[in-house]
A and B are shown apart, each in its own frame.
Chain A
Amino acid sequence: MAVEKYLKPEVINQIKRLDLRAQFVAQGFLQGLHASPFHGFSVEFSEHRRYTPGDDPKDIDWLVYAKTDKYYVKRFEAETNITGYLVMDLSQSMGYTYRQELTKFDYAICLAAALGYLMISQQDPVGLITFDSRVRDSLAPRSRRTQLGQVLSLLARLKPSGVTDLGHSLRQIAAMLKHRSLVMLFSDLLTEPEPVIQALRMLRHGGHDVIVFHILDEAEVRFPFDGMVDLLDPETGERLQVDATSYQREYVEALEAFRAEFRQACFQSRIDFVELDTQLPFDKALMEYLVNRRSRF
């Protein structure tokens, strides 16, 4: 049970090492699931095991039962050809945190690391692509254990900086990917929606599965300011004065409209759109991945 606490962002923040973070998040998540998430969608048989209460009866190997008169369940070795790409937005805005605890970027890395961990432990190949105005780094997908280390070390080195051009970058990525893959985008999407949606459609059209993790800061979701505020856009340097108190409701509406636009577009293109903020536990995001994975079999 103790491991589950690491699903909470404020707890995981206390762990500095990213590999541990990934491990804790993933293990905490898995432990929280009553049934193994991996059952049923791997094809390669690995071993038989004595049935113990709690196993799914449908997994009982009736042939073995016929021969031995004992209950055995089949164990499967996960084996998949899903290639996952963790796509990280490096824009300056991702480095924002209102409470000075966990930036959106930290959250995204944590999530990405956990996903990477999960995938590696499933022996799925995982690659990593980062971009700002264009693609910066890319790590070719591998499913070896060492790949996790490489992914994590690269993630640990990332710093959010500069302006971003999501649409362009995504189009670039779409061009880069040769095989049918699962593209997991970590971004706050704070840019013009239309080019991004176009690019996402392009990705989808390329046959890729896409999960968009839309990560916002808690403050960006709730707009918890009061009185007159002078807001500064870290990317463009633009400033705006507003009366926050009266504006909160309108902001929330604007945000909802913004999210709805993406949600709608993603739904039409059968893209998974996961709305997250830095206060939400990680399991929501992880579950999304798993559901997506399962749906492919």
Chain B
Amino acid sequence: MAFLNYSLLWGAALLAIPIVLHLMLRQQPRSLVFPALRLVRQRQESNRRQLQLRHWLLLLLRCLVIALLAVALARPSVRSPQWGDWGFLGLQFGMLVIVGAMALLALLQGRSGLVRGGLLAAVVLLCVSLAWSVRAARISVEETGLGSQRGPVAAVLVFDTSPRMRYVWQNQTRLEQAAEIAGWLLGQLPSGSEVAVVDSRPAAAAFAADRSAAARSIERLETTWSPVPLPQVLARALELVRTSSQPRREIYTFTDLTRGAWTEQPAEGLASRLAEADDVLLYVVDVGSERPQNTALGELQLSAEVLPQRSELMLEGSVSRVGAGESATIELYVEQPDPELPLIENGRTRVPEAQLRDQRIVELEEGESRGLRFRLSGLELGTHQGWLEIAGQDGLEFDDRRYFTVEVQEALPVLVLAPPGVNTRFFTEAVAPFEFRETGRAQYACTVMEQAQLPNVSLDDYAAVCLLDPTPLVPLDWERLLGYVQRGGGLGIFLGHNAEPSAFSGEPARQLLGGDLSRPWRTAGDVFLTFRDLSHPVTAAFRDVATAVPWDQFPVHRHWGLDEILDTARLVMPYSNHQAALVEVTGHRGRVLTMTTPVSDPLRPAGRSSWNELPTGSDAWPYFVLVNEMLAYLVDAGGVRLNYLAGETAVLPNARDRRPERYQLFTPLGQLQEVTAVDDQVSVRFTSLPGPYRLKGHRGGPVVRGFSVNLPETASCLERLDREALDPILGPDRYHYARDQQEIVWGVGQARRGREFYPILILLVALVLGLEHLLANRFYRPAE
């Protein structure tokens, strides 16, 4: 509660006047001789009491008139949300006064005990209720600057500068409209006000030096491609405004009120923080379009980001429509690789030309979303960039394009080591089938060597090393393998009948195997592989068909047991008897997978029984998928990402012996930056702008690489948020909603002044005056 004219409260001191008049200037009674005094005496006592009571009542009323007038002229007001609390308190207080007066009357008049008791009980009850209400209502009397329109304020103008605000409606982007209203608002702020402009950029905010500086910041506002979620910006603005020393603090939030702006990433505890800072007035200025019309492309899924040569790329995307239905033409463009480009020529960046490779026409109903699928084949070695595009123009431009980058590379060298007598064909044919090898589409180039060759090969030439059914290794070999893994190589160990627990112990072996070999388990043919955790990259491929994989048709007859499994080892797949089947050992730079049963056993090996029927069962597609996934995981092909969301740090592997160390980075705007590879990686942190990023370096000729950055799908979600949905985010009744200048003026007026008690108080004064007049007339009727 605040008072517009605090000083007028001193007027309440005039209360002394009726009191002094009452106490000191008592009416002198007329002296009269009256013989029939005994008749008077009989009823005199009750009359005296009544007289006193009436005098006190009159005094009370007169005091009340003065007090009410003083308070009314001081113009008390409260913030609108508290209006109800204060009103309720006032009502209770009024009732307390009335019931209290009645109780006093009953006491003085000596009414019956029941009446007195009842009234006293009512008084006590009302007192308790009043006290409780005061506690519950958390009302406070403080100086909020409420009540005056012209006092300086600390205003923070919060702008949602997410890309959504680029939506054009009535020839204005949302941001332009927000800036226009904000410019007007700036002129409306009382002189001496502090103004801060806060937008969705993740930068610290401060109050502007003066109003013109604030106006310039508003003019300079532009959308940012990786915005901080609006609730978090609001929380920041709240912290900022609370640092101000101005008694009146206001936050104006300019938003398009879309679902994406408010509900995608809510700030924890924003509502409670706002409720805490209840002296800060919050306005939500809605500049959004009530019926947006937009066609947007959804996020793009690529079948692979790194492709073997001559393989086919699948692009899956979606197109969705907000607003009335429309047909959309979706076009697929792919740039023609040119090792010389990009190039800055005459101040302009030349990029490879793009070719239209495919086109679809999609009929979209209102609010409909449709999937799209494109096939792309015939990609040459190297990096390919392209995009999907909606032909034509609509309100929101940036979501009409989705960029993608894929890299087509040569088959990865994989070293397969096996002792003599071990069949490697199952494995090599599974990962690089003959037909693929012949057509150059094979992803891996397998080199099969005898295990004895291990000391003589340069392991670092290979992307992965696989040990099929290894015989015991000397510790030095274990050391070499460990070193290779620690340098980033991938190692797969598929244990079989050649293994011996004694030879597979020792520290380096343990660190690669993930535990100690205990003993070979022999089963009755009723044990097979099972899934435990489909989130692992190796098993992720089975996720959609997990329950349909016929592992039981590929029984495991024998397998090794692993004891004392290391903390760094992770069980990827167990057998149906709960023993470890596939274990990943983490903690190295490279990846290590250990399988406790071979992947190379023929159906009927000579001189022994087969350990399993994984490769030899009929229709062994699970084996095929499993080995490919394992190898893909080992060579870390799935780990290379070429497509990023805005704001993410793009990391490209950059083997220092094959790739250039320095690159020129061409951003989508054609700006040039130097990047240097560190630790065999090229990191690009500033990826806020969507579009193709190109890296150009030299190592025996130009090397062109690249990646793509897209905005998340939610960035273009123009779906409107109901006003009611703001309540849980900001707190009900905590904010004022406005769509235009008039509504702001009204809301600001109401919020700054609060709700005044003046009319009610004046009404009360009139009532009490009337009552006083009535009583006085009754008591002091002029002589007839």
Contact = CB atoms under 8 A, between A and B. Distances in A.
A140 interface: no
- Which of A93, A96, A225, A246 counts the most chain B CB atoms within 10 A? A246
Nearest to A241: B29
Contacts of B784: 224, 226
A241 to B, nearest CB: 5
A232 B40 CA distance: 11
Interface string B31-50: 11111111111111001101
A245 B29 CA distance: 12
Contact of A247 (B30, B32, B36, B40): B40
B545 interface: no
B206 interface: no
A210 B781 CA distance: 43
Nearest to B38: A190
A250 B36 contact: no
B35 A250 contact: no
B57 to A, nearest CB: 13
Contact of B30 (A217, A228, A238, A246): A228
Contacts of B781: 226, 245
Contacts of A255: 36, 39
Given A240-B41, A255-B36, A230 B47 contact: no
A287 interface: no
B54 to A, nearest CB: 8
B34 A246 contact: no
Nearest to B27: A228
Given A226-B782, A245-B780, A231 B32 contact: yes
A240 B37 contact: yes
Interface in A208-245: 216-217, 219-220, 224-236, 238, 240-243, 245
B56 to A, nearest CB: 13
A62 interface: no
B51 interface: yes
Q: Which of A220, A243, A250 has the largest number of chain B CB atoms within 10 A?
A: A243
B431 to A, nearest CB: 115
Interface in A26-75: none
Given A251-B40, A254-B39, A254-B42, A227 B47 contact: no
B621 interface: no
B43 A254 contact: yes
B783 A232 contact: no
Most buried by B among A216, A235, A240: A240
A247 B642 CA distance: 104
A243 B47 contact: yes
Contact of A228 (B29, B34, B36, B42): B29
A243 B51 contact: yes
Given A230-B29, A242-B48, A190 B40 contact: no
A216 B36 contact: yes
B10 interface: no
Contacts of B48: 241-242
B35 A227 contact: no
Contacts of A267: none
B37 A238 contact: yes
Given A243-B47, A258-B39, A96 B33 contact: yes
Interface residues on B, range: 20 to 34
Interface string B762-784: 00000000000000000111111
- Which of B30, B48, B781 has the most CB atoms of chain A within a 10 A radius of its CB? B30
B35 A247 contact: no
A231 B780 contact: no
Contact of A240 (B28, B30, B40): B40
Contacts of A226: 781-784
B779 to A, nearest CB: 7
A93 B35 contact: yes
A240 B50 CA distance: 15
A188 interface: yes
Contact of B36 (A190, A229, A243): A190
Of A227, A235, A253, most B-chain CB atoms within 10 Å = A227
A242 B40 contact: yes
A216 B782 CA distance: 26
A188, A233, A235, A253 — which one has the most chain B CB atoms within 10 A of its CB?
A: A233
Contacts of B29: 227-230, 241
Contacts of B51: 242-243, 246
Contacts of B34: 96, 219-220, 229, 231-233
B430 to A, nearest CB: 116
B780 A220 contact: no
Contacts of B42: 254
A247 B30 CA distance: 15
B644 to A, nearest CB: 93
A240 B44 CA distance: 8
Nearest to B781: A245
B49 to A, nearest CB: 11
B26 to A, nearest CB: 9
Contacts of A232: 31-34, 37
Interface string A100-114: 000000000000000
A49 B781 CA distance: 65
Given A231-B37, A238-B37, A243-B779, A225 B44 contact: no
Nearest to A245: B781
A132 B47 CA distance: 32
A272 to B, nearest CB: 22
B608 to A, nearest CB: 127
Contact of A220 (B28, B36, B43, B44): B36
A246 B35 contact: no
B745 to A, nearest CB: 57
Contact of A242 (B31, B33, B47): B47
A161 B398 CA distance: 120
B39 A251 contact: yes
B38 A227 contact: no
Given A242-B47, A242-B48, A254-B42, A227 B37 contact: no
Given A243-B779, A245-B779, A247-B40, A235 B35 contact: yes
Contact of B31 (A93, A220, A230, A236): A230
A92 B36 CA distance: 12
A93 B54 CA distance: 33
A278 to B, nearest CB: 12
Contacts of B782: 226
A247 B54 CA distance: 13
A66 B44 CA distance: 74
A225 B30 CA distance: 10
A230 B30 contact: yes
A47 to B, nearest CB: 51
Contacts of A219: 34
Contacts of A245: 779-781
Given A226-B783, A242-B40, A246-B50, A96 B30 contact: no
A60 B782 CA distance: 63
A236 B780 CA distance: 30
A107 B159 CA distance: 102
Interface in A169-217: 188, 190-191, 216-217
A225 B32 contact: yes
A226 B43 CA distance: 17
Nearest to A104: B35
Nearest to B43: A250
Contacts of A190: 35-36, 38-39
Interface in B480-496: none
A245 B55 CA distance: 14
15 contacts: A190-B35, A190-B39, A227-B783, A229-B31, A230-B29, A230-B30, A230-B32, A231-B34, A240-B40, A240-B41, A242-B40, A242-B44, A243-B47, A245-B781, A255-B39
Given A242-B51, A246-B54, A247-B43, 12 more contacts: A96-B34, A188-B35, A190-B36, A226-B783, A227-B30, A228-B27, A228-B29, A229-B30, A232-B33, A242-B40, A247-B40, A251-B40
Interface of A: 92-93, 96, 188, 190-191, 216-217, 219-220, 224-236, 238, 240-243, 245-247, 250-251, 253-255, 258
